[in-house]
Structure 1
Amino acid sequence: MQEPSLQYLDVGAPAGQKGAPRRLAYWDWPCTSGDTGHVVVCVHGLARQGRDFDTLARALTERARVIAVDVAGRGQSDWLADPMAYQVPTYAADLAALLMTLRAGRPDFVVDWVGTSMGGLIGMAVAAQPALAIRRLVLNDVGPVVQWEALQRIGTYLGRNPSFDSEQAAIDYLVSISATFGPHSAEQWRALSLPLLREREGRWWLHYDPALALPVKALIDMPDQVQAHQIVRDGEATLWALYDAITARTLLLRGQQSDLLTEATAHEMAQRGPKARCVAFDGVGHAPTLVASDQVETVRSFLWAE
């Protein structure tokens, strides 16, 4: 079975901060038909990592090179010295640096983007910059409006640092907090879970920086909830401005039972900015994993269409 190579890019400290250079890791899937000059960049959700895209990558490498990123603090990428820098501007700057590196000496490169949840927010920030030239954009169950209730749900488990006495117990835990992903076989759950785990001294741990939860928890736990909701509304206005600036052809995927991306937001996204075409998957909440064959084919047909 085809496997990717693990690559690293040296990136600097987040803007306005001091610190040593750090490494951004990415999984590089070469195109099986040679260098076509077409790259698909895949970016995962908040507490996930780049190997989430293994199934999709194998389906796309017939025509494109696939780059599946471990965002800062996740997977094989270095952790940030300042936890409050775990936010979209940092991630977008990292990914812009990666795109410029991939394009170095190759101005003909065609770049598409597939972003799940947080990866979609990063994608909006990147695609809104004409110089980064994103051709097609897939936003997976995310838009400019993020529901407060979904943030609260995510906050119940994000950043906890549990350990488990067996690999299977760790997988069972991850399945329990990922039920909204929809139905998966035991083999699929195992494939989605193992890259998130590391064994140390006979126990299994989640392999990401628990401190990446601090920006989310700082917002959710603000004593003045009126102020917290205002911060959220201001953030939505910024995201809508980014979305409206996107010119790339855009596909919006939605879990029919999603608590993060509402049907009303999806409808508005179809009416403004790039006027995304929306495809919903029944029996799925937040967010489709792009493992099921119908989800994979939806993305593939969108990227390959003339």
Structure 2
Amino acid sequence: MTTSRSTYIEVEGFEVHVTEWGDPRNPALVMWHGLARTGRDFDEAAEALSDTYFVLCPDTLGRGLSSWARDFRADYSYATFGRVAEGLLAHHGIDRLCWVGTSMGGLIGVTLAAGRLKGRITHLVINDIGPDIPAAGAERIASYVGTPPVYDTVAELEAWLRANYAPFGDNTDAFWRRMADTSARRTDDGRVTVHYDPNIVSQFTHHKADLDVWDAYDAVEAKTLLIRGETSDVLAAPVAAEMTRRGPRPALHVIPGCGHAPTLANDAQIALVREFLAG
């Protein structure tokens, strides 16, 4: 059994928390999470894939154990996240890498594979996100991210997570408990809320252009796999179909019984990612 390492790296003047798995001499794999989540979401996949890869699972700025923004209007943007990603790679001396991105992490991967890291990202997994997000899906996410819940107990927060993230699909009790453990923080009065800066919702107001990435997508040359939850309200079926016809023309794999977004936490989904990365 491979164990993770909790590391803190100074990048762009921020302290960035990264959960690292595996031997740093192995090929590099970056796994980047969704809007209001943390790198710990990938524990199952990262542990399994660390037999082959050096896996880095960062907490995006404003989430988990990473620094919050100095100026959320500027710092919670794909431009800043991209510079942070470059800094993490430079810290480890990584030139070429694979990228697995869920939701926001997928769009960050697209922008990097088409821009700052073009030619360096060899394999790109885009998990349940596209260059055109339906308004209803974006509004649903913005509504809960911008008004985080506050509870008296972590148990109540776990119940909220299970309900709010039910589209993640069927996951184990251990998965949900870890999600609660890694999503909770105490408020000043000792109550419990989610482990992110509510200002991350500014992604939908100050950086709308970050969500419109067709031009970047069409410039991606990395080998690409597109994953969609069968009932996703964030990656619409017509958008996914259009993605297979343009840009990197990825294969599309639909995960049954799942919405936004597949967790990549069970054996079948991990095997799907492993097979793609090996190709």
- TM-score band by shorter chain is over 0.9
Is the CA contact 1:197–1:206 (under 8 Å) kept in the aligned structure 2?
A: yes
1:219-249 per-residue CA deviation (whole Å, 9 max, x = no partner) reads 7xxxxxxxxxxx96x666x511111111110
Q: Please, which of 184, 209, 217 is the counterpart of residue 197 of structure 1?
A: 184
Moved more, 294-303 or 197-206: 197-206
Per-residue displacement from partner, 1:235-278 (whole Å, max 9, x unpaired)? 66x51111111111000000010011111111111111111111
Letter in 2 for 1:241: D
Tell me the amino acid that sits aligned with residue 185 of structure 1. Answer: T
| 1:159 aligned onto 2:146 | yes
Within the alignment, does 1:28 sit opposite 2:20 as a pair? yes
1:127/1:134 contact within 8 Å kept: yes
Find the counterpart in structure 2 of residue 98 from structure 1. Answer: 88
The count of residues paired between Structure 1 and Structure 2 equals 276
Amino-acid identity (%): 37
- Identify the residue that residue 42 of structure 1 maps to in structure 2: 31
1:280 alignment partner, one of 254, 261, 268: 254
Query: Which residues in structure 2 correspond to 1:42-61 (within 5 Å)?
Result: 42-61=31-50
Question: Residue 10 of structure 1 aligns to a residue in which SS?
Answer: strand
Shift of 1:294: 1.2
Q: Deviations over 1:134-189 (max 9, x none)?
A: 01000000111111110111122113243222221110011111011112232221
**Amino acid paired to 2:98:** D
Once superposed, what is the RMSD of the aligned Cα atoms? Answer: 2.0
Q: Which of structure 1's runs of 4+ aligned residues deviate more than 4 A?
A: none
Structure 1, unaligned stretches of length 5 or more? 13-20, 220-230
5+ long unaligned stretches in structure 2: none
Shift of 1:113: 0.2
What TM-score does the superposition give when structure 1 sets the normalisation length? 0.84
Question: Helix, strand or coil for the counterpart of 2:235?
Answer: coil
SS in 2 for 1:173: helix
**Residues 128-147 of structure 1 mapped to structure 2, 5 A cutoff:** 128-129=114-115, 131=118, 133-147=120-134
3-state SS of 1:35 partner: coil
Q: Does 1:208 align with 2:196?
A: yes
Using a 3 Å threshold, how does the CA distance of structure 1 residues 169 and 112 change in structure 2: closer, same or farther? same
1:202 to partner: Cα distance = 4.5
Give the Cα–Cα distance (whole angstroms) in 2 for the partners of residues 168 and 10 of structure 1: 33
Matches within 5 A, 1:286-297: 286-297=260-271
Question: Highest Rg: 1 or 2?
Answer: 1
Contact 1:70 1:76 in 2 (8 A): yes
Q: Is 1:159–1:209's contact at 8 Å kept on the other side of the alignment?
A: no
Query: What SS does structure 2 have at the residue aligned with 1:157?
Result: helix
1:120 to 87, 106, 111: 106
Instruction: Give the TM-score normalised by structure 2.
Output: 0.92
Matched to 2:19, the amino acid is W
- The reply on whether 1:78 has 2:67 as its aligned counterpart is yes
Q: Is the 8 A contact 2:2 2:50 kept in 1?
A: no
3-state SS in 1 of match to 2:234: coil
Report SS of the residue matched to 1:211. Answer: helix
Q: Distance in 1 between matches of 2:224 and 2:10?
A: 30
Per-residue deviation, 1:64: 0.8
In structure 2, the CA distance between the partners of 1:210 and 1:2, relative to structure 1 (3 Å rule), is same
